Structure 1
Amino acid sequence: MEELLDPELGEVRVFLVHDDNKPRKLKHNLGHRRLLTFGGAYSNHIRAVAEAGRRHGIETIGVIRGEEHLPLNPVLSYAAACGMTLTYLDRAAYRRKHTREVQDWLRERWGGDVAILPEGGSNAAAVRGCAELPGEITGDYDVICCPVGTGGTLAGISAGLPEGRRAIGFAVLKGAGFLAGEVARLQREAYRRTWSNWEINLDYHFGGYAKSTPDLERFIAKYQVERTYVAKMLYGILDLVRQGAFAPGTRIVAVVTGQPSTSVAACGAPTGFDSGEPRCLR
């Protein structure tokens, strides 16, 4: 763990744990011969699935939101180079990708044996992978925090927490009240029960997914952190500390799920909400 040193923290201590949640989400999802998943044109989830498919000899299919644009951007080029077959859904159909109608059509097209992984990778198997994280943290702590896009990471962390600890997720998108239901649903699917040791803070989305403000930009420049997820979580933690939300002596672990990245504007035009997937290239 790396301690975040900032005089504004006072007697509260914050420790950074760097952990890429993509491999955790995929770890228990790789026992298939063929795997189909969804994402936007700049989705790190698409990239991660393609890479895992190449490494483990799994045939992968990426269903990309919107129309094909050639030449492929670097994310999709990398996915294709890993052997992923790319296909596209128009935005109306993409919004219905979770429905039985669309999934039956996809299985008819790609084969009944294809396993379908949700956008962002959050399912019961992903939750079980993320639940392993708390057990790998060697230092003592009271609270663990993580960014929340689809809810899978928080659902797993909560399930794996030792007794007496609690988890706080920081939503990175606007209007994310539905995420509490998603976290509970994922826990039920993974363990047939839910936990009460977690909460989601909705106050630090800064206008919505991949949106920012001058205040957040200054924070990113100061701490040199990934902007879509990590910056919003860390800003929220420090702001809550300033407000006295944590008792003196509280030890907080902040899960850093990404490295510093360039801005969305520098990467390309936003393509719409991607269920917790960054649109910018790292």
Structure 2
Amino acid sequence: MAGTNRSDEWLSGGPAVVLVEPQLGENIGMVARAMANFGLSDLRIVNPRDGWPSEKARAAASRADPVIDAARLFDTVEAAVADLRYVVATTARPRYSVKSVIGPAEASDKLRERMGQGEGTGILFGRERFGLSNEEVDLADEIVTFPVNPAFASLNIAQAVLLMSYEWMRASGAAGGRPRVESPPEPPAPKEDLFRLFAHLEGELDETGYFFPPERRPALVHNLRNLLTRAELTEGEVHALRGVIRSLRRGAGAA
């Protein structure tokens, strides 16, 4: 993906992302990159196997340095979430639990609602090899299960964080909730331009005998006008269509 436009605002905030005993610095870096893409900035790391700080993490973060620089290290999951009021635990696989199980979209909506009330929130992500333990899941308020292929539930940490980060961006309306790149809106053509198109097209079709038998003309005109109206043609598109009609007329005359 292309690099960041340095004139754009750097989004930050959102729920804490808590990585429990991640193994590789590269995985932490890819998590930071996923977070930065979607405006999350609070990274908390519990007992990383290869220690911290990590140059491998920084390299894999692909310039998501603000997330890496602000990352905090904790000895236990309890310490990492102690200041939070609402925490969800992620897993790709269903598991037995008395806790409610929700999807990532619903979880993100709840995270947004809780943060809107001034509550600290967080998302737990487990180890690369076996995820979160039951005891760690017990520390969360709800479980988030991803809607993956039941025969192949194998998300890595960065993929899981990316899914939740995307849903957070969508739910929070950050950056207006809009795609990164948009086409400028163009309003529909004035009705008078559209009516001239109707007259131009119908006049040409009259001459070619399209409206046959004559008693079918009102129904056919009705269908054509509905089609063109539903298209919400812009002024440029109306002019282009009229040019096409003129070109076809010239071609027919040459033949």
> Would you call these one fold, judging by a TM-score over 0.5?
no
State which structure, 1 or 2, has the greater radius of gyration over its C-alpha atoms.
2
Higher relative contact order (CA 8 A, sep 6+): 1
TM-score (structure 2 length as normaliser):
0.28
More strand by share: 1
More helix by share: 2
